[in-house]
Amino acid sequence: MSELSMQTTIHAPLEKIWRIITDYDGLKKIFPILTTCNFEHSSEGFNRIFTMPNGSQLYETISTANPCERAMYYLISDTHLSFKNYVGTMKLRALENEECEIEWSCAFEPKEDTEESVTKMITGFYSIGFERLKKMLCA
């Protein structure tokens, strides 16, 4: 299993960020490339099914969204992307002056691509997410 973790600080209240990332449609707001987001309950948790512009779908299961810890744990399965067995975590931590630290981490197995290329792709995705959140919340 490969692992990676990134952090950033956003000048916004923790509660505001938590509402966005736990909203079933929240990722679509952060990543406009996701054309639709459907939500369903399952035995494993809550599923978000994202549709991409080319019609392909990405299935995410939110296994735990813990409001006390301000942590969300999720899995990505049935992916056409270059990884499998993706387990992700988003954790928030309140800082002083209405700032919040976000840690976004994951473990995954590359399919046919190298670990380096998959890590670069996921890191790029996280970076875009952080920047979009900052623009949304600091505007």
* Amino acid at the residue 28: K
The pLDDT, as a whole number, for residue 120 is 94
Residue 5, pLDDT score: 97
Q: What pLDDT is recorded for position 110?
A: 92
pLDDT at 139: 63
Segment holding 122, helix H or strand E? helix 115-138
Tokens representing 45 are 């948790």
- Which structural domains are found in the chain, ordered by start? 2-138 (3.30.530.20)
pLDDT of residue 25: 73
pLDDT of residue 40: 83
11, two tokens = 């000048």
**pLDDT by residue for the chain (139 residues), tens digit each?**
899 999 999 999 999 999 888 886 777 788 878 888 888 877 767 888 888 888 888 888 888 888 889 999 999 986 678 899 999 999 999 999 889 999 999 999 999 878 899 999 999 989 999 999 999 887 6
Angle at which helix 115-138 crosses helix 14-22, to 10 degrees, equals 120
Query: In angstroms, rounded to a whole number, what is the distance separating the alpha carbons of residues 139 and 133?
Result: 10
For 45, phi and psi rounded to 5 degrees? 150, -145
